[in-house]
């Protein structure tokens, strides 16, 4: 429904509850010529766990305000299959 009028689609995981649902989403985005992006929860990754430990143990002192960005170094260097869901392209 969202892809049909030409709007790019961003979903949180899971994209669907079955392989068929995911394929339908990917096919709809492909047919509409839009991108399908998938959000990933990062809170249990090692960098985030270390950051939480530093916050909890007081390493930063009293925190008044926080803004952050999280980047994946080498994201584009990942195997094509890794990028499939992000780009909406299938092999």
CA distance 39 to 45: 14
pLDDT exceeding 70 applies to what percent of the chain? 76
Could you read off the pLDDT of 45-62 as tens digits, one per residue? 788 889 899 999 999 999
Domain range annotation of the chain: 9-87
- The 8-class DSSP code of residue 69 comes to -
Is residue 37 classed exposed, middle or buried when 0-12, 13-18 and 19+ CB atoms within 10 A define those classes? Answer: middle
Mean pLDDT of the chain: 80
Residue among 60, 64, 62, 65 at smallest CA distance from 50: 60
Could you read off the pLDDT of 6-19 as tens digits, one per residue? 889 988 888 889 99
Phi, psi of 38 (to 5 degrees): -125, 125
pTM of the model: 0.49
């Amino acid at each position: 429904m969202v892809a049909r009028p030409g709007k790019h689609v961003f979903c949180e995981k899971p994209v669907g509850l079955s392989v068929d649902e995911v394929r339908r989403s990917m096919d709809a985005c492909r047919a509409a010529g839009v991108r399908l992006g998938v959000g990933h929860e990062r809170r249990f990754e090692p960098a985030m766990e270390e950051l939480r430990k530093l916050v909890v143990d007081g390493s930063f002192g009293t925190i008044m305000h926080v803004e952050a960005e999280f980047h994946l170094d080498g994201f584009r260097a990942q195997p094509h299959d890794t990028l499939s869901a992000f780009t909406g392209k299938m092999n």
